[in-house]
């Protein structure tokens, strides 16, 4: 998503948990497209971290036009075999993280005169979720 956005002319802030090599590779692609990339490692299930993402991104790029909530934890097995800790990890990433990041960025999006908070659910996750429910 970040590479495509950069190719379309956007500077990109890349928030990620601990996938440093992947994030650096994505940043290189954005820079090859002539755009700036800001790498922001951390945990989006931490409300303060989401606020910090916005506090670093807005002054670096001058504004925030789009928020893509793309982090997710997909089930790895059947739902009846998942522990409560597994469930909380999924929900805190897939729901709480979206809320925290959206809430932190919403004022910037409104100030930009449009709100574009996207939630991306990949096809693979949908398949895994279907398998987990069977």
CA 63 to chain centre: 17
Predicted confidence (pLDDT) per residue in 98-125, tens digit: 999 999 998 888 876 655 555 444 444 4
Tell me the C-alpha distance between 18 and 35, whole Å.
23
Does residue 50 contact residue 44 with C-beta atoms inside 8 Å?
A: yes
Does residue 73 contact residue 94 with C-beta atoms inside 8 Å?
A: yes
Predicted confidence (pLDDT) per residue in 61-111, tens digit: 999 888 888 888 887 788 888 899 988 998 999 899 999 999 999 888 887
2-133 CATH fold: Rossmann fold (3.40.50)
Tell me the C-alpha distance between 117 and 68, whole Å.
6
Taking the domains of the chain in order of start, what are their residue ranges? 2-133
């Amino acid at each position: 998503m970040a590479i495509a956005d950069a190719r379309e002319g956007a500077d990109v802030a890349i928030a990620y948990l601990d996938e440093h090599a992947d994030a650096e590779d994505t940043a290189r692609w954005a820079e090859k497209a002539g755009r700036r990339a800001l790498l922001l490692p951390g945990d989006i299930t931490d409300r303060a971290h989401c606020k910090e993402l916005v506090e670093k991104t807005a002054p670096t790029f001058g504004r925030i036009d789009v928020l893509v909530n793309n982090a997710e934890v997909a089930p790895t097995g059947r739902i009846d075999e998942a522990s409560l800790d597994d469930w909380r990890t999924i929900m805190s990433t897939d729901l709480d993280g979206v809320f925290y990041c959206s809430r932190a960025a919403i004022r910037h999006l409104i100030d930009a005169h449009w709100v574009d908070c996207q939630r991306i659910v990949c096809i693979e996750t949908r398949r895994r979720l279907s398998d987990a429910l069977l």
